Amino acid sequence: MKNFCVILFHDFETLDVFGPVEVMGKLNQHYRIEFYSEHGGLVTSSQNVKVQTLPITELNGLNELDVLLIPGGIGTRSEVNNQAFIQILKQISNRAQFVLTVCTGAALLARTGLLKNRKATTNKMAFDWVANLDQEVQWIRKARWVADGKYYTSSGVSAGIDMTLGFIGDIIGMEAAERISTGIEYIWNKDRNDDPFC
Amino acid sequence: MKNFCVILFHDFETLDVFGPVEVMGKLNQHYRIEFYSEHGGLVTSSQNVKVQTLPITELNGLNELDVLLIPGGIGTRSEVNNQAFIQILKQISNRAQFVLTVCTGAALLARTGLLKNRKATTNKMAFDWVANLDQEVQWIRKARWVADGKYYTSSGVSAGIDMTLGFIGDIIGMEAAERISTGIEYIWNKDRNDDPFC
């Protein structure tokens, strides 16, 4: 059983998290989904969803760290300046087999320095803010999502669903991704370069 | 401030809830989102999301009950036989200005009897099970979502996002719905009769 570890913080964006979680949840024979935050306990999204989490330090106890999901949201505006949190994020991102970000989750990952010289994207409305956090990242404005090695970054909110299906397509196969999108009656935009919001 | 009350139960389907919550959350100047369950406390989705809820009896204390959201999920298979829960659901659905269901959430609403002689839909894979719970409902197989008076019912999982945008289009206006779908970079299937999964 692999782990799919979702990192939450106060004022995360609801669908950034639960679109990918819905999709990955269909692989529950392969992945166990758990939620973490800096201090554990209840963490509240911008849409007033209170989610129970484990302390992020518990990730240090895992031998294998398979997939990390870092969502965006208005909370990233303060978390980019939370050096303790960014430091832990860097450690666990280094250990993870794959790191996925949605929307301004890319801002947090950029702050770790791990995106330097890699291709990445983020959402439209906050693009310039995120891109200025690290100008050594090859920021791509027109993309539904971007994969560069183990790092998957997506555009805003709903693009995280398309990216996660694309991720499953890459690591398991297109048939599995298609079956999941049909099962949840989701009209999958499967072309990562087809970005109608650019 | 109006209330948008989300009814949770064990093994609800994650995206049935948080797609509509994401969309309604953009109307946070008009709607306050709260989560309720039969007994309150933490309720866990089929994808291991643990959400903090209030006891559903607290809804009896509200003077006005504006919008109810009833999600689906594998948990509906047992909840349709939970007579105490169905009874409360009937009371609060009667009082609500609008009732929205996603996926097999329609099974719970059908059990209250309130859908009799009304048009409604549900998801594809569980269609026959739901339709047999009350054959006096005018079940519509091919529909992304159906509105009949104050009752809005949608097809599976992701269709709830389309329905909620359609609901906003109906009660507030298409401009607001378009602005929200663009803001969350969601490719909205805005034709309720265009159901590619039928």
Is the whole-model pTM more than 0.80?
yes
Rounded to 5°, angle at Cα B155 from B153 and B159: 100
Output the pLDDT for position A62. Answer: 84
The CATH number of A2-183 is 3.40.50.880
Report percent pLDDT > 90 for chain B: 95
- A184/B157 touch (CB, cutoff 8 Å), yes or no: yes
What are B's interface residues with A at a Cβ cutoff of 8 A? 13-15, 17-19, 21-22, 24-25, 28, 32-35, 42, 46-52, 123-125, 155-159, 161, 182-187, 189, 196-197
ipTM of the complex: 0.96
User: Is the pLDDT score of A182 beyond 90?
Assistant: yes
Residue length of chain B: 198
Q: What is the pLDDT of residue B38?
A: 97
> Which pLDDT score is estimated for B114?
98
pLDDT of residue A164: 98
CB contact under 8 A, A50 and B52: yes
Nearest chain B Cα distance for residue A123, angstroms: 8
Q: Which pLDDT tens digits describe chain B residue by residue (198 residues)?
A: 999 999 999 999 999 999 999 999 999 999 999 999 999 999 999 999 999 999 999 998 888 899 999 999 999 999 999 999 999 999 999 999 999 999 999 999 999 999 999 999 999 899 999 999 999 999 999 999 999 999 999 999 999 999 999 999 999 999 999 999 999 999 999 999 999 998
Please give the C-alpha separations between residue B169 and each of B22, B24, B105, B178, B194, in angstroms, as whole numbers: 15, 12, 22, 8, 17
Contacts of residue A16, defined as CB under 8 A and 6 or more positions apart, other chains included, come to: A71, A72, A73, A102, A103, A105, A157, A160
With beta carbons under 8 A apart, name residues in chain A contacting B51. Answer: 49-52
Amino acid A194 reads D
Sorting pLDDT into bands at 50, 70 and 90, what band is A60?
confident
| Domain-wise residue ranges, chain B | 2-183
Element at A85 (helix H, strand E): helix A83-95
Rounded Cα distance between A111 and B58, Å, is 43
Asked if A43 and A9 count as a contact pair (C-beta separation under 8 A), the reply is yes
Residue A185 to residue B156, Cβ atoms within 8 A: yes
